[in-house]
Chain A
Amino acid sequence: MFSSSQFEPNSAFSGGGFMSSQPSQAYESSSSTAKNREFQGLVPVTVKQITECFQSGAEKSGLVINGISLTNVSLVGLVCDKDDSKVTEVRFILDDGTGRIDCKRWVNEAFDAGEMESVQDGTYVRLNGHLKTFQGKTQLLVFSVRPIIDFNEVTFHYIECIHFYSQNSESQGQQVGDATQSQIANSSVNTTFQGGSNTNQATPLNPVVSSQNNDGNGRKNLDDMILDYLKQPACTARQQGIHIDEIAQQLKIPKNKLEGVIQSLEGDGLIYSTIDEYHFKHVEL
């Protein structure tokens, strides 16, 4: 029908707007980049999220959630207190179970009026709108309203809110979900190295390394573990290199397992033997 096909692009767009890599790369950098302020995509939110960021974001020019300034949002909820007494605008309250928010829709064309006709009190709708703060109150200026026909969309909307929220929390360094866990594990290993150079021991490395090993990725992690260990400033500082027994002891891996891996690392030119065939150092470029 007219209204459902009209707004398919919106839901497709909202999926495409923040599923692409570009926004998530923008959020990996610090939160005050120009890209964040200009993010104009549609953000699925709950009313609770809007009220929370309003309370914490006092003076700022826009409302901010997870470092993203909110302008356009998408909500799903029940229409209450619809008031269409004025000809040019329709006001109502949206109750999505997490809170209530005032909404306003300008009705300038027949199309808009027709759209609002189908929306009555007690109808579940999908709203897309623009957040505005006016005299201390946050309001939604709605530019699209569509009654919900398949109620799986209600479940979907809340899951989308959770997904969007957790994606942006991840790129800010918190470990939520396991999609980018390996990426985060690598960055935490790197920070451990910087801490390790102050002590002259390799022990800080062990807990992080063994957790990587527990992921069960087997052989690939072994290569990385050896390289990571040898890359430590404490190890690179030792001119005679590190004996294979020491590597086995520090990484808590039997020596026979290491031997094959070390040979292949040597063959790849990543490590080299030093004073004898049992001492190795990382190749530094």
Chain B
Amino acid sequence: MDTSSPSAFVNGALLRRYIGQKVRTVVQVIGSDNGSVVGKSTDDLQIVVRGSSPPSPLTTYLEVIGIAESENAIRAETLTNFGNTFDPQNYNELCKLANGEFKHLFI
């Protein structure tokens, strides 16, 4: 059992706290280029996801797990389709809780 590679729950605003570290977030897909996906975070900021081949076809929401490269870019290790009926507001609130009062349950 090993907790050596936990990933922090982030939204657009929290991403900058974890630059260089492993993060996870869910974005709403706006567009995709070859090799990168542009998405809108759960708090309406733009995030670019580079690397790793996205699953096709892409659903509306995409979970990205990877290393934060900058305050609006992630180098993805794992991409998972999160469907079309995902609730971004709930996830946004979860990110705030998981980085605030209850951080010790996650990281």
Whether A48 contacts B94 by the Cβ 8 Å rule is no
B7 touching A97 by the CB < 8 A rule?
yes
Q: Does B87 contact A (CB under 8 A)?
A: yes
Stretch at the interface among A98-106, A183-191, A229-237, A240-248: A98-106
Q: Is the CB of B6 within 8 A of A150?
A: no
- B residues less than 8 Å from A139 (CB atoms): 1
Partner of A99, one of B3, B87, B101: B3
| Inter-chain contact B1/A98, CB cutoff 8 Å | no
Which of B93, B104, B106 is most buried by chain A, counting CB atoms within 10 A of its CB? B106
What are 27 sample pairs from A and B whose C-beta atoms fall under 8 A apart?
Answer: A48-B3, A48-B6, A49-B105, A52-B104, A97-B6, A97-B106, A98-B106, A99-B2, A100-B5, A101-B1, A122-B80, A124-B80, A139-B1, A150-B85, A151-B63, A151-B86, A152-B86, A155-B86, A155-B87, A155-B94, A158-B9, A158-B98, A159-B90, A159-B93, A159-B94, A162-B105, A165-B105
Give Cα A155 to B6, complex, Å: 17
Q: How far is the CB of A121 from chain B (nearest CB, A)?
A: 11
How many positions in chain B have a CB within 8 Å of any CB in the partner chain?
A: 30
Number of A-B contacts (CB under 8 A): 81
Known contacts being A99-B3, A124-B80, A155-B94, is A46 close to B106, with CB within 8 Å? yes
Asked if A47 and B3 make an inter-chain contact with CB atoms under 8 angstroms apart, the answer reads yes
Q: Across the interface, name the chain A residue whose C-beta is closest to B2.
A: A100
- Distance (Å) between the CB of A267 and the closest chain B CB? 45
Contacts of B15 in A (CB 8 A): none
What distance in Å separates the Cβ of B74 from its nearest Cβ neighbour in chain A?
14
**Cβ-based interface call for B82 (8 A):** yes
Interface residues of B (CB under 8 A from A): 1-3, 5-7, 9, 24, 61, 63, 65, 78, 80, 82-83, 85-87, 90-91, 93-94, 97-98, 101-102, 104-107
Who on chain B is nearest to A138 by CB? B1
A65 to chain B: closest residue by CB: B105
Q: Is the CB of A98 within 8 A of B6?
A: yes
* Inter-chain contact B106/A48, CB cutoff 8 Å: yes
> In this assembly, does A166 line the interface, its C-beta being within 8 Å of a C-beta of chain B?
yes
Known pairs A152-B85, A155-B90, A158-B94; A102 contacts B1 (CB<8 A): yes
